[in-house]
Amino acid sequence: MLKSMTGFGQGEADDNLHKIRIEIRSLNHRYLEVSAKIPERLKTFERKILEEIKKNFSRGKLEIFLNLDSVLEEPSKEIVLDLKLAENFMEALRKLKEKLSIKDDITLSDIVKNKEIFTFKEPEAKENQLGKLIEISLSQAIRGVKETRLAEGNILERDIRTRILNILSSIHEIEQKAESLLLLYKDKLQERIKKIAAEVEIDPAKIEEQVVLFAEKSDITEEIVRAKTHLENFLKLLETDETAGRKMDFYIQEINREVNTIGSKSSSSIVSESVIQIKVELEKIREQVQNVE
């Protein structure tokens, strides 16, 4: 079953203190590209969020938006003192005072001016709770993206399948036309010979030789067999659960190559018309495949 690369999902979770909302937007892209806009205070969760996205998606450009919508009550942060840094800073001030012959005393206010001595840490219980809220809302958002990608994938699958069947029908027509063209060429060649037979003696073997030569030059049996094989493999990809976009793109190129060869081998406008129809369908399939995961 095909999955589109276009999708959207959102999730929300809250407790008595916080409300987390996550939105994920997915667009088509050749590879997997993930970006996240996360509030500074929640940056510690970014790596885990990105890892979870990469576990669930293999292709597409995914943008993640995480919002802390409301804080109903802000608990106090823990103040962490780097005592070793404070001691080193104090010693540096003493040396500076001595070196520059400064008479003023070193005070506490001089030390606390170094902002790196104090850090503010969220309480561990609060961090754990925020992590749970993010996990819940992220899971909801991922599920939403998968559902929308699958729904659009079903639409793509129906359209692509119809076009593949149209191509198979056109190739069947080309097969029939190719057989009749060889007989037509033989009849025309014999007719031309009849007109000049009264004046020039022609070896019947030469006529057959020309027909065989024409048949060899215009034989498209191998191309038709290969094109059919690629088309059958393409149809199988529509049934698989694996990511199929890149494989489909490969088969389109191969089918197009065989169809081009068929067109170049046949000078008949009848066959050329079918070739043009196939190429139109292939181009439409190519456009659709660009959005398949």
Instruction: For residue range 135-170, list pLDDT tens digits in order.
Output: 999 999 999 999 999 999 999 999 999 999 999 999
Q: Are 106 and 90 a contacting pair, CB within 8 Å?
A: yes
Instruction: Quote the tokens at residue 269.
Output: 């406008």
- Listed in sequence order, the residues at least 6 apart from 110 whose beta carbon sits closer than 8 Å to its beta carbon are 93
Q: Kindly give the pairing relationship between strand 60-71 and strand 32-37.
A: parallel
How many residues does the structure list for the chain? Answer: 293
pLDDT (0 to 100) of residue 126: 72
The partner residues of 292 in beta bridges, in order of sequence, read 4
73, pLDDT greater than 80: no
CA gap 29, 292 in Å, rounded:
9
Instruction: For residue range 181-223, list pLDDT tens digits in order.
Output: 666 666 666 666 666 655 566 666 666 666 566 656 667 888 9
Question: Which has more pLDDT, 195 or 44?
Answer: 44
Helix axes 124-197, 221-237, angle to 10 degrees: 160
Instruction: Residue 216: count other Cβ atoms within 10 Å of its Cβ.
Output: 8
| CB-count exposure of residue 220 (10 Å: 0-12, 13-18, 19+) | buried
Helix axes 46-56, 124-197, angle to 10 degrees: 30
Give the pLDDT mean for 212-241: 84
